[in-house]
Structure 1
């Protein structure tokens, strides 16, 4: 039983590491502002087109930047949830013996 729990914990760590390698994006205004994040919801890059930056006021840029960040984080959440759901299916299959389901 302990071995299966340790394997589940190791699998969770592997998923976390894999999520760090997956990039997701949020962009607005056809890519004039683009935010890159990992699937672990860590922002890794922000790009604002220089001309767009010069032609707009700070308030508009800040609002669009927040929108792009939230889009990236939403994408990260979706990828993370899908990865966790797949891992949970795998782990539950392997833990079936703990609950009397496997022999």
Structure 2
């Protein structure tokens, strides 16, 4: 395979990965507590966008903190997994076919 062609493919792949990272800043996941009293929205890039709290939770600060931690961690874990999967998918698409390499 022509080295210049491979270099071009790698540069194109890097650009696609960068584009995917930018796009995931505007793709969101919603996560709710098991009883639906708390809902969070996070970007696939791991940024908290929105938190909705049922008035019932406002009466118990400790419970609210527990719900926030659990629900945010769950949402951020899902976002990170989807972020990683998307970047891996984009990277694999752009990899040049090099004989002997297991891509």
CA distance in 2, matches of 1:13, 1:37: 20
Question: Is 1:58 paired with 2:49?
Answer: no
Q: Which has the higher contact order (CA 8 A, sep 6+)?
A: 2
CA distance in 2, matches of 1:5, 1:85: 14
Q: Which runs of 5+ in 2 are unaligned?
A: none
User: Alignment partner of 2:35: what SS?
Assistant: helix
Deviation at 1:17, TM superposition (A): 1.6
More helix by share: 1
Deviation at 1:36, TM superposition (A): 0.6
Question: RMSD over aligned Cα, in angstroms?
Answer: 1.7
Equivalent residue for 1:13, pick from 11, 15, 18: 18
Q: Which runs of 5+ in 1 are unaligned?
A: none
The within-5 A match list for 1:1-103 is 1=4, 2-54=7-59, 57-92=60-95, 95-96=96-97, 99-100=98-99
**TM-score normalised by the chain length of structure 1:** 0.80
**TM-score normalised by the chain length of structure 2:** 0.80
